[in-house]
Each structure stands twice: as structure tokens, then as C-alpha cells.
Amino acid sequence: MRSITGAGVRATLRTVARALGPEIPLTVHEVSSGTQVLDWSVPREWNVGSARLIGPDGRTVVDVADNPLHLLGYSTPMRARMGLDELRPHLFSMPDRPDWVPYRTSYYNENWGFCLTDRQLTSLPDGEYEVEIDTTLTEGSLTYGEIVLPGETTDEFLITTHTCHPAMANDNCSGIATATLLARELAAAPRRHTFRLLFIPGTIGSITWLAGNRDIVGRIRHGLVLTGLGDRSDPTYKRSRRGDAAVDRAAAMALAESGQPHRIVDFSPYGYDERQFCSPGFDLPVGRFGRGQHGEYPQYHTSADDLDFVTPGSLTDSHALLRRIITICDQNRTWRNTAPYGEPQLGRRGLYRAIGATMNRQAVEMALLWVLNLADGSRSLLDIAERAGLPFDTIVEAADALAGVDLLAEVEVGGV
């Protein structure tokens, strides 16, 4: 029973912590109800004991124990008997998908209700129904998880996923699972950036984190929001508000390298938590990576978003593309040519001999020349790769070789 607050979120984070293992600490934060967070306040905590709708014949029509989607999210407590006409405004179905249960919520407008298949709804007989909703709305807290993996620098790469959607595999158990795997892999490898991974409830979670971490925001150099990673749609990247941030260009490069159909869409202030990180006051370089977009596939926010809807192939592909985007951003550096007057003699420094066994010697030679020419302290390796039309890895290899003979000095680039 996950929602934006409550025991279901805590149980989910305990599952993530077990998957991470003791060597990767997941810090769990609790932010009290009523706390002012930017223009919002943290809502009351919602928990579910049980919820059933009982028909006139005494049989259970729907039970939240069978499917968390059966209960309208954030339903207030209710115990009552009523006729079908009075009950009907509190019943939600999908007439165009008669065998699916919809996912509906009422976070900030007190209400109660049940979600059921339209086939069930249309077959309900007249008579008196019993509503039993045992929920609590109390002064509790909002819960989110955070992992910080220190790197060589304090520059940060932010990765977030939302934890509030219950009983749906693509939106967004796929994001939770992939973020957990990424954390394990990043923790086990050398990393230049400090990586910060957030497991947060949608919208209010990112707003709460931003409100409490203004001192950290200025260190974020790249960011990705992970959503819907397991469906069969083409991989899709949504640019940050800036549109040309390094993470936007790294995503475009990774997708182009893959050689597969993909989509890159411009930023819009509608979607997931990228719209909070990219709000004008913060304007962070945070894009969103997923596959099918919200509302594009009929299974979205329904019981049909189940484990049969996600595929191992799509999850594997999404994970590989995310790793590539992260690698490009983490390897992207800015260098300065230490011998900029004329072309330095590379032969006597052994550089040509060092690349003699390289399969594409000509490409590496050209990469050496491009890096030397464009490494003026203002261009990154990503800039150079784009200008030269050469693979990013080839440019990185050339830069490492030149730095190895003191022809390049790294430049620290400040700012977000």
C-alpha cells in the first residue's frame, strides 16, 4: 500500500535497503506533517488497515487486500450503509477497459472511494451496500530514502525515482529496481562525481528534498529522473529546462550510439519530478529517462501495468543506456593544452607508438589533434567529440594519453 506517505513507503525502503546490502547505507528521512516546504506543506500521514465494499447479498465486492488499487488513494475513514445511487459517485472504473482496475488518488481533497473493473461496476445490483474503510490520516511524516556515494569531487550527479505508486510494475517499480541496481554498481566502481540517489514520493518528495537541501543544490552538475523503464516502447529522453545541459547531450549521444529507434523530447512543465528540479528558481540540469510516456500507453495507471507488461529486454536496455549516459557525464572533463603555441611534437613523446596497435589508428591520431586544438580550457571532451564528429571514447582515450605526457592540464569548471 504505497502512497506519498505511510507504512508502505517505509516497507518499500526496507526492501531497497536489503537489496543494497549493508555496505551501501540507505538513509531514511522523516519530515513531519505540517512542515513548510517551499509553497507546500507536508501532508498528514496516510495508512491503511483494511478496506472492503460489501454487496447487498453479504458478499465482498472489492477488498484492498486483493489489490492495493481497489482503494482510492488517501481515502478518509468511512463506515456506512448506503444505496447504489448514493455509492456510485465513490466508485471508479474504466468503461473503455472493462476488465482493468484504474489507479486513482485524492491526496489534497478529502474523499473516499473504491476502484473496480467496469464489468464489476455495471453488474452491481440495486440494494444496500456496506462501506468499511479503516484508514488513518494523522500528524505523522513523509518518508524518503537517500544514498550518497562520495566521489573524487563534490560535484554531484543526482538520480531520483518515485516510490508512491502501488501495485504497478512499470510505473514505477521499474524505476525503484533500476535505481537500486545502479547504486550497487556505482558503489563498486571508481567515480569522479559524488552520486546522490533519491527514493521519493512524486512531487511532494522532490519539493521536500529541494526545500531542505538548498546548500546541496549548487553542487548538482547532472541529474536523471527514472520512470517507466520496462515497457516495450522506444527509449525516450526528456531534456532539462535548459535543453543543452551536459546530461541532455550525453543522453543524445548514448541514444545515437545505440543505433536503435529512440525519442528525444523537449522539456515541458508537465510530467514527473523533473518539473520540480527544473522549476525556474532552481533550473537544475536534470532530465528524465524512460520509455513510454505518461498517458501514452493504455496500461498507464491501471492494474494492467503488471509484471507481464514489463520485459527483461526493455529493463536491460534501459539500464545499459543509463549506464552509458552516466559514464559519459562522469568522464567528461575540461582540459587546457599546456603547449598551445603551434602543434607539439607527438612522435618524440611516444604517442604515435602508443597507439600503433589501435585498430583505428587514424581516428585516434585525429582525436589527438582535435583535443590539442580545442582544449583551451573552455571546451569539455563532450564539446570536442561533438565538434570533431568522433566517438566520445576515442576523445577520452586521446585526452588521457595527452595528459599522460603533460600536454594537458585539467581545468576545474565551477557553476551549475
Residues 287 and 247 in one domain: yes
CATH number at residue 59: 3.50.30.90
Note the pLDDT of residue 80: 98
Does residue 119 carry a pLDDT above 70? yes
Q: Is residue 237 part of a domain?
A: yes
Q: What percent of the chain has pLDDT over 90?
A: 93
Stretch 301-307: mean pLDDT: 97
In-domain check, residue 161: yes
- pLDDT score, position 348: 83
pLDDT at 239 over 50: yes
The CATH number linked to 315 is 3.40.630.10
Are residues 110 and 210 located together in one domain of the fold? no
The three three-digit cell numbers of residue 133, written as one number: 474503510
CB 163 within 8 A of CB 143: no
Same structural domain, 150 and 212: yes
Both 120 and 202 in a single domain? Answer: no
Using pLDDT thresholds of 50, 70 and 90, give the confidence band for residue 416.
Answer: very low
Give the model's pLDDT for residue 414: 61
- Report the SS3 class of residue 245: coil
In this structure, the answer to whether residues 175 and 219 fall within a common structural domain is yes
- Judge whether 320 lies within some domain: yes
Tell how strand 334-337 and strand 376-380 pair up: antiparallel
Q: Give the full edge-to-edge strand order of the sheet including 408-410.
A: 376-380, 334-337, 408-410
- Among residues 74, 76, 69, 110, the alpha carbon closest in space to that of 92 is found at 69
Please state the domain count of the chain: 3
pLDDT, tens digit (0-9, with 9 covering 90-100), for 56-67? 999 999 999 999
CA distance 106 to 39: 19
Query: 121: which 3 cell numbers?
Result: 461496476
Q: 319 and 177 share a domain? A: yes
Q: What number is the average pLDDT over the span 410-415?
A: 76
Which pairs with CB-CB distance under 8 Å and at least 24 residues apart come from 398-406? 398/364, 398/367, 398/368, 398/370, 398/371, 399/333, 399/335, 399/371, 399/375, 401/351, 401/354, 401/355, 401/368, 402/335, 402/351, 402/368, 402/371, 402/372, 402/375, 403/335, 405/349, 405/350, 405/351, 406/338
**3-state SS string for 63-127:** ECCCCHHHECECCCCEEEEEEHHHHHHHEECCCCCCCCCECCECCCCCCCCEECCHHHHHCCCCC
In a domain, 182, yes or no: yes
Q: Which residue has the cell 573524487?
A: 152
235 DSSP assignment: P
- Tell me, yes or no, whether 202 lies in a domain: yes
Longest dimension (CA), the chain: 94
Compute the radius of gyration of the chain from its Cα atoms: 26
Contacts of 400 (CB under 8 A, 6+ apart): none
Q: What is the mean pLDDT of the chain?
A: 95
Claim to verify: residue 377 and residue 326 sit in the same structural domain: no
> Is the C-alpha dihedral spanning 300, 301, 303, 305 positive or negative?
positive
- Whether the pLDDT of residue 88 is over 80: the answer is yes
Of 414, 346, 332, residue with least CA distance to 375 = 332
Using an 8 Å Cβ cutoff, are 104 and 73 in contact?
A: yes
- Position 354 confidence tier, pLDDT thresholds 50, 70, 90: low
Report if residue 1 sits inside a domain.
Answer: no
Residue 361: pLDDT band by 50, 70, 90 thresholds? confident
Q: What is the pLDDT of residue 92?
A: 98
Q: Do 324 and 358 belong together in one domain?
A: no
- Model confidence at 346, pLDDT cuts 50, 70, 90, reads confident
Q: Which of 331, 350, 365 is the last residue of a domain?
A: 331
345 exposed, middle or buried (CB, 10 Å; 0-12, 13-18, 19+)?
A: exposed
Q: Are residues 32 and 81 in the same domain?
A: no
Q: What residues make up the domain containing 113? A: 48-138
DSSP element (H, E) containing 150: none
Residue 223 lies in a domain: yes
**CA dist., res. 44 & res. 357, Å (int):** 65
Least confident range of 203-207, 212-216, 254-258, 344-348: 344-348
Q: Are residue 18 and residue 55 in the same domain, yes or no?
A: no
pLDDT, one tens digit per residue, over 371-385 is 999 999 999 999 999
314: pLDDT strictly greater than 80: yes
Q: What is the pLDDT of residues 142-200, one digit of tens each?
A: 999 999 999 999 999 999 999 999 999 999 999 999 999 999 999 999 999 999 999 99
Answer whether 68's CB lies under 8 Å from 121's CB.
Answer: no
Q: Choose the final residue of a domain: 331, 364, 398.
A: 331
pLDDT at position 289 over 80: yes
Do residues 224 and 193 touch, judged by C-beta distance below 8 A? no
200 with 315, same domain? yes
Closest-CA residue to 146 (of 205, 218, 192, 214): 205
Same domain, 179 and 288: yes
**pLDDT tier, 50 (very low <50, low <70, confident <90, very high otherwise):** very high
**Of 87 and 295, more confident:** 87
Amino acid letter, residue 270:
Y
Given 90, 108, 138, the domain boundary residue is 138
CA distance 174 to 179: 8
The pLDDT confidence band at residue 389, using thresholds 50, 70 and 90, is: very high
Q: What is the pTM of this model?
A: 0.95
Residue 16 lies in a domain: yes
Element (H, E) at 408: strand 408-410
Reduce the DSSP state of residue 45 to 3 states and report it. Answer: strand
Copy the grid coordinates of residue 218.
549548487
